[in-house]
Structure 1
Amino acid sequence: MIFHIAEESDWAAAQVAGDYRISTRGRTLADEGFIHASRRGQVLGVAEAAYLDAGPLLLLSIDPDRLTSPVRDDEVAPGIVFPHIYGPVNLDAVVAVAPLERTADGRFVMPPG
């Protein structure tokens, strides 16, 4: 399983459009050439680095075997590898959507499961 942090409005737009094309906060697939994703252990670090001042967030759980676009692990810094999706995310590859909640002191918490 790979994961993607999405703003609620972007996920709602994808439901209308038929696929998801946001790479990361404020950047589209067309802007970046791929969609940023994370392994489970990377999600909170990404949230803390890029989404501290964001509105309501969702965590998309994506089954790579269901994707119609290729996924590649890319080294973004020495020894640091993240999965990237090289095309739109077909909606049926998203097997779960859960709110990415925060604690009272603002820290992100992974959804159960």
Structure 2
Amino acid sequence: MASPIFHMCRADEWQAAQANGRYDGSSQDRADGFIHFSTGAQLPESAARHRTGQTGLLLLTVDPDKCGEALKWEASRGGQLFPHLYGPVLAYAVIRVDPLPLGDDGLHIMPAHVAGEGV
């Protein structure tokens, strides 16, 4: 398996996805036309930029090999390549789901597996 990719979503969004067997992204993802992902190295900055202070978030760890050709690596922040999924995340591609609690500084505390990108 390639290194996993990560997506932050609200718990209610994931609950709805579980009922459907697929996750179609947040309202922002749908507006952008793709689901935003980050690598483990990119995730802390992505969380700080886009989700600081938000409670009730979950972190989806996804196997990129199960995303098919809809997964594209595209230049974004600072020219870094970010994984963007032009389609839904199918339930079988999600390896694990973890809560993203907030620290005292308003930043999310990442699960231990993110740093090493091991599952």
TM-score by length of structure 2 reads 0.83
RMSD (CA atoms): 1.6
- Closer/same/farther in 2, CA of residues 69 and 7 from structure 1, 3 Å limit: farther
What is the CA distance between 1:77 and its match in structure 2? 4.4
Map 1:1-113 → 2, pairs under 5 A: 1-23=4-26, 26-29=27-30, 31-68=31-68, 70-113=70-113
TM-score by length of structure 1 reads 0.87
The number of residues matched between the two structures is 110
Counterpart Cα distance in 2 of 1:59 and 1:77: 20
Opposite residue 107 of structure 1, the aligned amino acid is L
Between structures 1 and 2, the one with greater strand share: 1
What is the CA distance between 1:104 and its match in structure 2? 2.2
Opposite residue 28 of structure 2, the aligned amino acid is R
Opposite residue 46 of structure 1, the aligned amino acid is S
Counterpart Cα distance in 1 of 2:90 and 2:68: 7
Q: Is the 8 A contact 1:73 1:84 kept in 2?
A: yes
Aligned-pair identity in percent equals 37
Counterpart Cα distance in 2 of 1:105 and 1:33: 32
**Deviating runs (4+, > 4 A) in structure 1?**
none
Counterpart Cα distance in 2 of 1:112 and 1:80: 23
Q: Is the 8 A contact 2:53 2:107 kept in 1?
A: no
What is the CA distance between 1:51 and its match in structure 2? 1.0
SS at match of 2:53: coil
Q: Which runs of 5+ in 1 are unaligned?
A: none
Counterpart Cα distance in 1 of 2:18 and 2:80: 32
Counterpart Cα distance in 2 of 1:66 and 1:33: 20
